[in-house]
Amino acid sequence: MKKAYAMLLGCMGLMLFVNNKAQAQLQKGNMLIGADLMGMSADFQSGNTTFNLSLNPKVAWFIRDNVAIGGMVNLGLTTGDGFTTFSYGVSALGRYYISDPQTQLLRQSRFLLEGQVGIMGQNKKVDCAPNTTNNGLGV
């Protein structure tokens, strides 16, 4: 158990280090590479075993100081007793980092506004039923 806590703290420290270095580079010409781990959950109660994981890798280029445009991919998997759902999508994104010193909580931090537009889909497989595919457009 102590090894798990040490590993978790080490990963969190690495994420803070990488995040701190990335936030200092909001100038034109730089590139932003990252990902959102949207959710990871597991439920192992009797009769209701499920697992859920979503990952959204992103890449963007700063076209002006504090303004970035790029794209992202949405990937998700939900599985449980008798069903499996795979979600996917691709989106364009734009980010604006607010550089007003009065809005900063920490010296090396910035609030940001992000907009996305893209297409998405979902494939669902349920035991004893045909596979279904859903598609959508989001803003």
- pLDDT of residue 23 exceeding 50, the answer is no
8 Å CB contact between 82 and 127: yes
Predicted pLDDT at 131: 66
Mean residue pLDDT of the chain comes to: 77
- Side chain identity, residue 12: M
23 token code pair: 């936030």
Beta strands in 2-139 (DSSP E): 31-45, 48-64, 67-80, 83-97, 112-126, 132-138
CA distance 40 to 46: 19
For residue 29, pLDDT beyond 80: yes
Q: What predicted TM-score, i.e. pTM, was given to this entire model?
A: 0.65
Q: Tens of pLDDT along 74-90?
A: 999 988 888 888 989 99
Residue pLDDT, tens place only, 110-127: 888 998 888 888 888 887
Residues 47-84 pLDDT 10s:
667 888 899 899 999 999 999 999 999 999 988 888 88
